[in-house]
């Protein structure tokens, strides 16, 4: 049984509140969980001490028993100094798609053609 430390959403519509829970990875997001390990309230200011609350001792226990945190929970654990999150690098993130490159090339070609036509008209 693979265990995940993840967020389970609660709260009302447009007023999210999350519990940090330990759950079987096959169970639904807001469904059955094994243990509540903390909470996250994104509606509080970022500098509020109650925004993220963690039961660090229990989290360390479950990690030592093989539980894997999700990306978002790993950010919280890194900020709390429990685990180290490896920096990610995606050099292709800012690269344009094929269609955008094609449109840019067509626009450049049209500008060159217009400049050549203007130069030809002024030469006459």
pLDDT beyond 80 at 124: no
pLDDT over 70, % of the chain: 98
How large is the average pLDDT for residues 57-80? 93
Query: What pLDDT, on a 0 to 100 scale, did the predictor assign at position 1?
Result: 67
Say how far apart CA 52 and CA 49 lie, in whole Å: 7
Q: Give the integer Cα–Cα distance in Å for 48 and 61.
A: 26
Residues 6+ positions from 1 with CB-CB distance below 8 Å? 24
Indicate the burial class of 6 (C-beta count within 10 angstroms; 0-12, 13-18, 19 or more): buried
Residue 122 confidence (pLDDT): 79
Tell me the pLDDT tens digit for each residue of 24-54: 989 988 888 999 999 999 999 999 999 999 9
Number of neighbours of residue 60 by Cβ within 10 angstroms = 13
pLDDT the model gives residue 41: 95
């Amino acid at each position: 049984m693979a265990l995940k430390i993840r967020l389970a959403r609660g709260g009302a519509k447009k007023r999210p509140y999350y519990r940090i829970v330990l759950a079987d990875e096959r169970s639904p997001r807001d469904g059955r969980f094994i243990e509540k390990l903390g909470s996250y309230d994104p509606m509080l200011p970022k500098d509020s001490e109650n925004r993220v609350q963690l039961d660090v001792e229990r989290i360390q226990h479950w990690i030592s028993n093989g539980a894997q945190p999700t990306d978002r929970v790993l950010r919280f654990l890194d900020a709390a100094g429990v685990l180290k999150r490896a920096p990610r690098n995606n050099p292709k993130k800012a690269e344009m798609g094929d269609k955008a490159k094609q449109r840019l090339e067509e626009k450049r070609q049209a500008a060159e053609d217009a400049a050549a036509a203007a130069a030809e008209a002024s030469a006459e």
